[in-house]
């Protein structure tokens, strides 16, 4: 295996589960179930919506498409469901962590360097580039979730969302 492949896979294995664990900490930091779903003027998604979307997104693009694990995504429901208990949100995030880790560990170098198995926005995208995109997408929504939680609760404290302590040492 090439060093490039090993390095990118290791970076994705370190960052994607780290970001999903941070999403879990954000959801756990809301003071009650209702605040996870509270709307904030000018903010399109609640914390619960973001948690559902991120869990579905990772399980779909990693597990269902690359890992062929049978996951069935309902993207519309990710944005339409309300009042999903935190326990269910956290279970979905745990499933997303497992899906990403399992898929990344089993992904061959050829698959990583080749085209993603399905078109993305009607384009053929290199799998490695798309996986980095998914990591950035995850981080983008993690930031939105952090701001939603702070706006809803009035609590400016962070949850160590982008922890360098969770990155592997050399």
Q: Which domain CATH number covers 136?
A: 1.20.120.450
Cα separation values, 102 from 62, 85, 149, Å: 9, 26, 30
Which whole number is the average pLDDT over 104-127?
Answer: 96
Q: How many domains does the chain have?
A: 1
Q: What three-state secondary structure class fits 40?
A: strand
Which whole number is the average pLDDT over 56-66?
Answer: 98
Q: What is the mean pLDDT of the chain?
A: 95
Q: What is the predicted pLDDT for the residue at 166?
A: 85
Is residue 2 within 8 Å of 110, Cβ to Cβ? no
Q: What is the predicted pLDDT for the residue at 168?
A: 83
48 in a structural domain: yes
29 in a structural domain: yes
Assigned token pair, 96: 């997303």
Q: Is the pLDDT of residue 1 over 80?
A: no
89 in a structural domain: yes
53 in a structural domain: yes
The range of the structural domain enclosing residue 15 comes to 3-165
CA distance 109 to 116: 13
170 in a structural domain: no
Give this prediction's pTM: 0.95
Query: Residue 2: is it exposed, middle or buried by C-beta count within 10 angstroms (0-12/13-18/19+)?
Result: exposed
Assigned token pair, 82: 């309300």
């Amino acid at each position: 295996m090439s060093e490039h492949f090993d390095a990118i896979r290791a970076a994705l294995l370190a960052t994607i589960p780290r970001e999903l664990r941070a999403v879990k900490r954000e959801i756990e930091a809301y003071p009650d179930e209702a605040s996870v779903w509270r709307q904030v003027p000018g903010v399109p998604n609640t914390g619960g919506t973001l948690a559902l979307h991120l869990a579905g997104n990772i399980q779909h693009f990693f597990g269902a498409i690359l890992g062929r694990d049978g996951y069935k995504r309902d993207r519309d429901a990710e944005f339409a469901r309300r009042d999903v208990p935190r326990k269910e949100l956290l279970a979905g995030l745990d499933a997303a962590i497992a899906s990403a880790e399992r898929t990344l560990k089993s992904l061959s170098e050829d698959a990583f360097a080749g085209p993603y198995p399905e078109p993305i926005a009607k384009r053929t995208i290199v799998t490695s580039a798309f996986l980095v995109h998914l990591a950035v997408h995850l981080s983008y929504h993690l930031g939105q979730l952090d701001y939603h939680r702070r706006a809803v609760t009035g609590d400016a404290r962070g949850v160590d969302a982008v922890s360098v302590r969770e990155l592997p040492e050399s």
